[in-house]
Amino acid sequence: MKMVKILTDKIDIPNYHKIDVYLKEGGYSTIEKALDMGQEKVISELKVSNLRGRGGAGFPTGMKWSFITNQAFPRYLTVNADEGEPGTFKDRLIMTKNPHLLIEGIILTCLTLEIETSYIYIRGEFVKEAQILEDAIAEAYEKGFLGDNVKETGKKVHLFVHRGAGAYVCGEETALINSLEGKKGQPRLKPPFPAVVGLFNKPTIVNNVETIANIPFIIKNGGQAFADIGVERNGGTRLVGVSGHINKPGVYELPMGYPLDKIIYEIAGGILNDKKLKAVIPGGSSTPVLKPDEIRDLPMDYDSLAKAGSQLGSAGVIVISEGTCMVKLLATLEKFYAHESCGQCTPCREGVPWVRDLVVRIENGGGKPGDIDKILDICDNMEGTTICPLATAAAWPAQSFIKQFRHEFEAHINQHKCPFN
């Protein structure tokens, strides 16, 4: 496994977020090449690269881009910088330490897909991060990489930052589009997909920050070089964020497919306070929880995680040590999902608060014998029956926590209290 970095290799260079330093280090050198290659070649290289969306679903980026190529104009690019999934804090690193790589990726995307206007949708709380982006964008305009005539090519690319205002569901691509249009961030029914009817009812590509930041490398080095870094069907590196009960929390750029147990015990320094590992949520709060024996030699890639019964998601690894009450932890999560439901679909609007209430009741010692199966029942009705996957995202933790730690839920009910208190 090649330990190369392509997103974070230079971020320790002083002032790398400034365009002069970025240029000196070889930045913005791919624009002409991308134009020479042209749309067809760029998309075919993307397909070879096995780049899959880093926002959570892992959709092949080359295929996503190919859907827009025969659509009408104008077209839009919206970059998803909502970073809302609990346990995820990776795009913040790119935006603050390597903003020009993101901007370069955006320019390449726009030139390839004949897009003249793009937006970075950044979560509203990231005020500082948004300012860093604004400053970097101003520099890129000044140097002629953005504007009405990008580097004398006659091509137009404009880029704006749009701040959200606090709503997790706005990370979902169609909610994000509504939010950018000045509306409530409520997801839209699909189809039509954004590539056909998106922002301002025009064809739109929505990609995650990390996805777009990988484009310059692929243009420069070709799709195969990117594919070679990862494993089968999963090209490139992954920004893995490790948080929770871990000695060295942080974001680590690792080749796709790097073993999860090694990430925890070697890269991130092992479990906090020399405790034993109890559980791992491998890809952000929505992804099903795994037990220590399930993460041994488990490659961090989309297919391996799915085979293990979880998901790679946003690669936000949440580490949980022995002594943690799983019922309390699930209550923390379900309070979150209940708070974030946008209310459009009955199974989500009614179901998630109901699950939350039952879990809270069990945690507080008031649980009844049928409560566990009731939760599973409600989750069954939430999954796959809604406009967006938020309801499913709320069901997975409940289902997996119960599957893996059912005895803890039962102990709460039998003892009429939390055994960890």
Residue 415, class by beta-carbon neighbours within 10 Å (0-12 exposed, 13-18 middle, 19+ buried)? exposed
d(CA 150, CA 157) in angstroms, rounded, equals: 7
CA distance 252 to 217: 18
Say whether 250 sits in a helix, a strand or coil: strand
Region from 50-58, 127-135, 345-353, 401-409 binding ligand FMN, contact rule CB under 6 A = 50-58
Q: Which is nearer to ligand SF4, 331 or 348 (CB)?
A: 348
Give the number of C-alpha atoms closer than 13 A to the C-alpha of residue 149, restricted to the C-beta side: 2
d(Cα 169, Cα 186) in Å, to the nearest integer? 7
Nearest partner of 244 among 321, 176, 178, judged by Cα? 321
Q: Does 395 bind ligand SF4 (CB under 6 A)?
A: no
Question: Using CB under 6 A, which of 117, 204, 207, 237 touches ligand FMN?
Answer: 207
We find the least distance from the C-beta atom of residue 90 to ligand SF4, in angstroms, to be: 23
Report the site for another protein in 202-241 (rule: CB under 8 A). 241
**Using the rule CB under 8 A, is 285 a contact of another protein?**
yes
| Residue pair 44/62 in contact by the 8 Å Cβ criterion | yes
Of 151 and 349, the one with the shorter C-beta distance to ligand SF4 is 349
C-alpha distance from residue 373 to each of 275, 294, 364, 365 (Å): 32, 25, 18, 17
Q: State which of residues 169, 271, 298, 359 lies at the interface with ligand FMN (CB under 6 A).
A: 169
Strand blocks (E) in 109-210: 117-122, 158-163, 204-208
Binding mask 232-271 for ligand FMN (x = CB under 6 A): ----------------------------------------
Tell the residue number behind the tokens 């209430």, with chain if given.
357
- What's the CA gap between 120 and 81, in Å, rounded? 7
Interacting residues with ligand FMN between 65 and 124 (CB under 6 A): 80, 82-85
Rule CB under 8 A: is residue 329 a binding residue for another protein?
yes
Binding string, residues 336-355; x marks residues near ligand SF4 by CB under 6 A: -----xxxxx--xx------
Residues that bind ligand FMN (CB under 6 A): 53-57, 59, 80, 82-85, 169, 171-173, 206-208, 211, 388-390, 393
Residues that bind another protein (CB under 8 A): 83-89, 91-92, 119, 123-128, 160, 162-168, 179-185, 200, 241-245, 249-251, 281, 285, 316, 318-320, 324, 329, 332-333, 335-336, 339-340, 342
